[in-house]
Amino acid sequence: MMPAEQDDSKQRLQKVLSAAGHFSRRRAEALMQEGRIRINGELATEMGVRVDPEVDVVSVDGRVVPLKTEALYIMLNKPRGVVSTMADEQGRPDLSEYVREIGERVVNIGRLDADTTGLLLMTNDGDLVHRLSHPSFEVAKVYTATVRGVVDHAIVKQLTTGVELEDGVSAADKVTVRSNAPKDSSILEIVLHSGKNRIIRRMMEAVGHPVISLHRKAVGGLHLGGLKPGSWRELTTLEVKDLLTLAHRADAPIKKRRHDRED
């Protein structure tokens, strides 16, 4: 890779990696010589190559590394009753209180219904928001759903084969019945990629088992773990790398679109 044309926004790759806290400049040069660093998918072996941390995507051994030193990546366990917006016209609790706690202007990636609890990602990395909020960007999400009635094998098969809805057929990747006690309800673990509006609630309604409560516990390999409702934390460096790698995969969409409301 030839050195990029110099401009004010670009810095030497070694300096950028060092400033972001990933490697010393000497270590970065060694990785470049070993062919382990790529810039926007191309091998970076020229010691003078320069990058723009706000635009260029740098990966080491296939994993994208965060370069934006001011970027924040937050995991929130959204409580029930909180709407996924920064200001609600109806005066309901919204995400603005968490933004005040965080102390930086961050926005949510995707949405959860007011009655749905669980993992919601927030960031001030605009490019990441655009990528992960694109309607065609599908990432595996894991939910725990308590539904009315006893869900049997036939219903599980229907959910994974496909349910006819007003906007087409939708199917879960995997459905596991965790409990059928008490006998008038069931607890399911549902894995799916779709980001369609209220998809789980609509699917369960269509098969005759409406949702009582819904909780999202994982998104694209990120798990809530023991994070309590209403609490938030910054993602670890490893989690950020995984998230950025997912967002910059070869088939990831990049156009800016409206947020789809996830279930």
Sign of the dihedral through C-alpha 26, 32, 37, 41: positive
Which residue is listed with tokens 């400049």?
Answer: 25
Q: What is the DSSP string of 117-163?
A: EEEEEEES-HHHHHHHTSTT----EEEEEEEES---HHHHHHHHH-E
Q: Could you tell me how many helices (H) and strands (E) the chain has, helices first?
A: 7, 17
What gap in Å lies between CA 141 and CA 60, rounded to an integer? 26
The CA-atom distances, in angstroms, between 18 and each of 29, 65, 92, 209 are 11, 12, 44, 54
What gap in Å lies between CA 67 and CA 53, rounded to an integer? 5
Residue 113 annotated among the catalytic residues of the structure? yes
What gap in Å lies between CA 154 and CA 177, rounded to an integer? 12
224 near 119, Cβ under 8 Å? yes
CB-based contacts of 251, cutoff 8 Å, min separation 6:
none
How many Cβ atoms are within 10 Å of 55's Cβ, its own excluded?
11
Which of 103, 98, 113, 107 lies closest to 145, judged by CA?
Answer: 113
First to last CA, the chain: 44
Of 56, 113, 125, 263, the active-site residue reads 113
Would you name the residues annotated as active-site residues?
113
